[in-house]
Amino acid sequence: MYKREIVREIASHGINLDKSAEIYESIINLFKTALKENDSITLQGFGTLSVITLKPRNGVNPSSGAKMQIPESKKVKFQMSRKYKKELNNIS
């Protein structure tokens, strides 16, 4: 699902398209800010987004075969809620 589809879906609930786009941008900015501050985001019944830090590790350049050090980095982790996992897999 793309941004425009999400905005149109929000608008289908009686909100004009410009206001829907504003709501979408506000939510995305809220998520980005929270994740930058290493806060987790819990969406009840759906899952949790959190930031994890990947340790530096050794790697190999696939083009040259040279060994290299891959620096520490952060990534966003999604943990699906048990309720949604059951719903997604049609488990009662």
Domain positions in the chain are 1-37
Dig out the tokens for 64 from the structure. Answer: 């040259």
According to the model, what pLDDT value does residue 51 have? Answer: 97
Q: How far apart are CA 10 and CA 24, in angstroms?
A: 8
Judged by DSSP in three states, 43 sits in strand
The DSSP letter of residue 66 is -
Give residue 92's pLDDT.
62
pLDDT tens for the 92 residues of the chain, in order: 999 999 999 999 999 999 999 999 999 999 999 999 999 999 999 999 999 999 999 999 999 999 999 999 999 999 999 999 999 998 76
What does the pLDDT read at residue 91?
77
